[in-house]
Amino acid sequence: MSHRLSLSQAFVFLLRRDLLLALRNRAEYAMPLLFFVLVITMFPLALGASPQLLARIAPGVIWVAALLAAMLSLDSIFRSDFDDGSLEQILLSPHPIALLVLAKVSAHWLVTGLPLLIVAPLLAEMLGMPADAQTTLLLTILIGTPILSLIGAIGVALTVGLRKGGIILSLLVLPLYVPVLIFAASATENAASGFDPSAQIYMLLAFLFLSISLSPWATAAALRMSAS
């Protein structure tokens, strides 16, 4: 009796819709990326341009900047849908919400996390990071930024209906970001010092799988609560 679309078709539809929206709101999505670059540039200015110092702090600095940029970009996942009523319509869809959420989060990562992958090597080079460390850095960004989007989505879903949501969002989400920061930064640092970073990379992969399997459901529950 039901001739609704299959789940994968709905998934792709929502993903494409979000990508299209991002394209038409280019300015809004460029801000976090700009912020990322600015923050990293601040450090040599503040600490003096000594190459050894910069190379030593580079992994940590880049990752802290990535974290902050991710937090800035989180609001865009659900805010506009919440404000114009589209979120309700998504929640009223017969398709499983958790998977629709995954579509939105994937779109968010493609628009905010992937660009970091392109820009980071340039900045790493500017800070004097050795080449093999840069490869590790890219790997950590590739694995780590989806985790940031997934976990951040939970926080946004919890706070999207609140007036001062942004502040609480940072408070909620930062403790959860700490493990990613620790393992990603130290993996890169290890690579920079010539050690093997695979243990940390595996931990990051484990976090990624954990987030993919748990976060959509937590986010869906939080959205239902926010929209009620």
Partner 1 sequence: MRNDRLLFEQLEISLDAGQMLVVEGPNGCGKTSLLRILTGLRMADGGEILWRGEPIDRLAGDYFEQVNYVGHHDGVKHELSCLENLRLARAMGAPSSIDLDDVLEQVNLYAYGETDVGSLSAGQKRRLALARLLATEATLWILDEPFTSLDKASMAMFSSVFERHLQQQGMIVMTSHHDISLPQQALQRLMLGMPS
Partner 2 sequence: MFLWFHKLGSPPHFYRIAGKWIPWLGWIFLLLLAAGLYGGLVEAPPDYQQGESYRIIFVHVPAAWMSLFVYVVMAVCWAVIIIWHMKLAEVVLISSAPIGASFTFLALVTGSLWGKPMWGTYWVWDARLTSELILLFLYLGIIGLHNAIEDKRTAGRAVAILALVGVVNIPIIHYSVEWWHSLHQGPTVTKFDKPSIHWSMLLPLLLMALAFQVYYVLALFQRCRAELLRRERNHKWVGEL
Residue closer to partner 2 by CB (options 20, 195) is 195
DSSP per residue, 149-179: HHHHHHHHHHHTTSTTHHHHHHHHHHHHHHH
- The residue (of 14 and 69) whose beta carbon lies closer to partner 1 is 14
> Angle at the Cα of 120 (from 204 to 48), degrees rounded to 5?
110
Instruction: Name which of 2 and 228 has its Cβ closer to partner 2.
Output: 228
User: What percent of the residues of the chain are helix, what percent strand, and what percent coil, each to the nearest 5?
Assistant: 85, 0, 15
Q: Which residue number, 121 or 161, has a Cβ lying nearer to partner 2?
A: 161
| Residue 160 and residue 228 in contact, taking contact as beta carbons nearer than 8 Å | no
Contact letters for partner 1, residues 61-100 (x by CB under 8 A): -------------------x--xxxx-xxxxxxxxx----
Overall size of the chain counted in residues: 228
Residue 25 binds which entry of partner 1, partner 2, none, CB below 5-8 Å type-dependent = partner 1
Cβ-based burial of 204 (10 A; exposed 0-12, middle 13-18, buried ≥19): buried
Question: For partner 1, how many residues bind (rule: CB under 8 A)?
Answer: 30
98-122 burial, b if ≥16 CB within 10 A, otherwise e?
bbbbbbbbbbbbbbbbebbeebbbe
Q: Which is nearer to partner 1, 13 or 35 (CB)?
A: 13
Q: Which amino acid is at 128?
A: G
Burial class (CB in 10 A: 0-12, 13-18, 19+), 179: middle
Among 73, 140, 149, 159, which residue interacts with partner 2 (rule: CB under 8 A)? 159
Segment lying near partner 2 (by CB under 8 A), choices 27-35, 64-72, 107-115, 158-166: 158-166
Whole-number minimum distance, CB 227 to partner 1, in Å? 6
Site residues for partner 1 per CB under 8 A: 2-5, 9-10, 13-14, 17, 20-21, 24-25, 80, 83-86, 88-96, 224, 227-228
Site residues for partner 2 per CB under 8 A: 154, 158-159, 161-165, 168, 171-172, 174-176, 178-179, 182-183, 186, 203, 207, 210, 214, 218, 221-222, 225-226, 228
